[in-house]
Chain A
Amino acid sequence: MRIVVPVKSVPDLVEEIELTADETGIDREYLTFVLSEWDAQALEEALLLKDAGGAQVVAVGLADDPEIDQILYTALAKGADAAVKIADASVAGLSGPRVIRTADRAALLAGYLADQPADLVVTGVQAADDLDGQLPATLAALLDLPHVSVAVSVVAAGGSVTVRQEFAAGRSHELQVQLPAVIGVQSARQAPRYAPITRIRQAQQAGGLTEVAVSPRAAGAGLVVRRMHRPEAGGHAEMLTGSAGNVADQIVGLLRARGLVKG
């Protein structure tokens, strides 16, 4: 089974997000980028499928994504069999400060998958910078493949996979999905494995990244971004300041006033 795992980087949300001067995009230049957390879960689920019954796992990113080399070498160090970068110069408007639209990303990946078909595509259910929809369903629609999102378990079963799909309040469905298919992973069956730094270095030295050019599928109608801005700082929260002891006194005072702490 050939499993393709599209991966991408997103701004590290621990930092303040810088916007472009015209306020229609995020300014990639001043941000730290990390692997999208849901892609990390998808990669883990793919590696679990490989561990269970043998599969070839291929991590795929766009050459224009920040930190993509590091992300792909880490995937190799964790056990991916191959790592591919899609050269995206062929699509106008992709580079520069703006986030790549999910529709454009899907169009490139669909082009790649048309050349190099997969039995199974697993990727993150969403990414923090999605705006025009999520990758799994967009990609599946372009390729006319069955798809399931918000998966919390994917297990191989002959020419199909058994997928657990999660809903609110802990309800879930078990689905049988024919391959080829696209699955959007919410969380893997176990926490993503750790890649020792020495293994990442080995992968880097071995230089196992392949770069490919593809002809993208046509991307759908897009949104017009009028403006991006940060929500009002602090919103309506009253900030409690002082030492930890001071702040604790104030919080305990609030709880006492409501009769939730005695004394």
Chain B
Amino acid sequence: MNDEVSSNVMVLAEHTGMQVSEGTYELIGKARELASALGGVTEVVLLGRRAVAARLDGADIVVSVEHPALEEYLPEAYEQALLEVLAQRSPRLLLMSNATIGLDLGAALSVRWDAPLAGYVSALEIDGGAVMATAKILGGKVLAEVELPGERGIVTVLGGAFSAAAGQLASTPEVVDVTPPAGLDALRMSLRQVFEADGGDVDISSADMLVSVGRGIESQDNMEIVLELAGALGVPLSASRPVVDAGWLPKTRQVGQSGLKVKPKVYLAFGISGAPEHLEGMRNAELIIACNTDPGAPIFGVAHCGTTVDLFDLVPELVDKIRG
């Protein structure tokens, strides 16, 4: 156990097999900037796959824990291993994704490591030694600027908030091995099966243009009008998560954090509010055109063009004009 707090900034690496997530590099890039402001270095925690260390070249130090329970992500195993790493390394800050793993572990570590947590973070800086974060809350309608007081903190970061390139450098990190804690042999959960994504009828991530629909469409019957528009344009129909959860479109059409990332030339969004989890999947589209009756909808924060005309008036007009 190390009681002295370091000035290091730690990132939890997320990887599927040998594949490191884009978000991990985004965090490493930010961690480097924060660590240099704090006078520390960047440490990356790598659980279960030591061989991945070679791909974490933006890190100064890779802290590796190896144990069979860590081979694939398992919440309780990751939590135990991270608590051990935190106790031994005492970083100033721990950065994690605000996706499944961060939602799973961040708040639990906040209690068990006794450190304040800021979630849904889209901006992060050191200001006179203090850690300041900006969180997107209430579906992106409010920005909260918060300080993480004390000697350590945890931040879960929205995907796409920072540059991934800044986390990919040509260097060779030192690898430090941490002995797996005994708790890993007495877990109260186990992994039974891994399900890969189903292949879909169409690959929305390779389309030039997407017509995308959100909860503003209101009902399955109304889907007809956006299907017609997508048909007239000859492009796939994609959607926000609630439309998929309602069963109106298959999962393969979902855009966002738990769906697919898309980067079409044009993204036409109808009745989508622009929650951070949705923006994560489409903010890099070349031209975003958004239709939403709420002028305060966060989608207008990333859209290039917008309109508050009702989608039920606009979509039929579009169909008419495209069909000519």
Contact = CB atoms under 8 A, between A and B. Distances in A.
Interface of A: 10-11, 13-14, 16-17, 19, 26, 102-103, 125-126, 128-138, 140-142, 146-150, 162, 164-178, 181, 184, 186-187, 191, 220-241, 243-245, 247-252, 254-255, 258, 260-261, 263
Interface string B299-324: 01111111111100110011011101
Which residue, A170, A178, A234, has most C-beta atoms of chain B within 10 A?
A: A170
Which residue, A133, A175, A220, A250, has most C-beta atoms of chain B within 10 A?
A: A133
Main secondary structure of the interface of A (DSSP, over half): mixed
Given A168-B99, A224-B147, A237-B304, A252 B191 contact: no
Contact of B192 (A131, A175, A237): A175
B306 A237 contact: yes
A252 to B, nearest CB: 5
Nearest to B152: A221
B298 A142 contact: no
A141 B107 contact: yes
Main secondary structure of the interface of B (DSSP, over half): mixed
A230 B141 contact: yes
A175 B195 CA distance: 11
B182 interface: no
A251 B318 contact: yes
A165 B100 contact: yes
A81 to B, nearest CB: 26
Contact of B193 (A26, A103, A173, A248): A173
B119 A132 contact: yes
Nearest to A238: B305
A137 B103 contact: yes
Given A138-B111, A140-B108, A261 B233 contact: yes
9 contacts: A13-B138, A148-B75, A150-B100, A170-B259, A178-B189, A222-B149, A230-B141, A239-B308, A252-B318
B78 to A, nearest CB: 11
Contacts of A130: 119-120, 137
Contacts of A181: 188-189
Contact of A132 (B73, B116, B142): B116
A234 B292 CA distance: 11
A175 B119 contact: no
Given A223-B147, A226-B147, A239-B307, A170 B251 contact: yes
B322 A261 contact: yes
B305 A235 contact: no
Contacts of A187: 241, 245
B196 interface: yes
Given A225-B144, A233-B296, A258 B265 contact: yes
B14 to A, nearest CB: 9
B287 interface: yes
A252 B324 CA distance: 11
B94 interface: no
A54 B88 CA distance: 46
Given A132-B116, A150-B104, A191 B318 contact: no
Interface string B258-276: 1111000110100001000
B225 interface: no
A126 B111 contact: no
A149 to B, nearest CB: 4
B232 to A, nearest CB: 9
Nearest to B196: A171
Contacts of A235: 300-303
B165 interface: no
Contacts of B75: 146-149, 165, 175
B138 A11 contact: yes
Contacts of B301: 231-232, 234-237
Nearest to B254: A170
Which residue, A232, A245, A251, A263, has most C-beta atoms of chain B within 10 A?
A: A251
Contacts of A237: 290, 300-306
A228 B107 contact: no
B317 A244 contact: yes
A172 B195 contact: yes
B104 A137 contact: yes
A36 B154 CA distance: 25
Contacts of A220: 110-111, 114-116
Contact of B116 (A222, A231, A249): A222
A14 B138 CA distance: 10
A133 B105 CA distance: 10
B260 A169 contact: yes
The 3 closest A-B pairs by CB, nearest first: A133-B107, A235-B301, A170-B197
A186 B321 CA distance: 39
A78 to B, nearest CB: 18
Nearest to A177: B189
A138 B145 contact: no
Interface in B54-93: 72-76
Contacts of B146: 131, 223-226
A149 B100 CA distance: 7
Contacts of B112: 141
A132 B149 CA distance: 13
B142 A223 contact: no
Given A225-B145, A251-B289, A260-B209, A176 B192 contact: yes
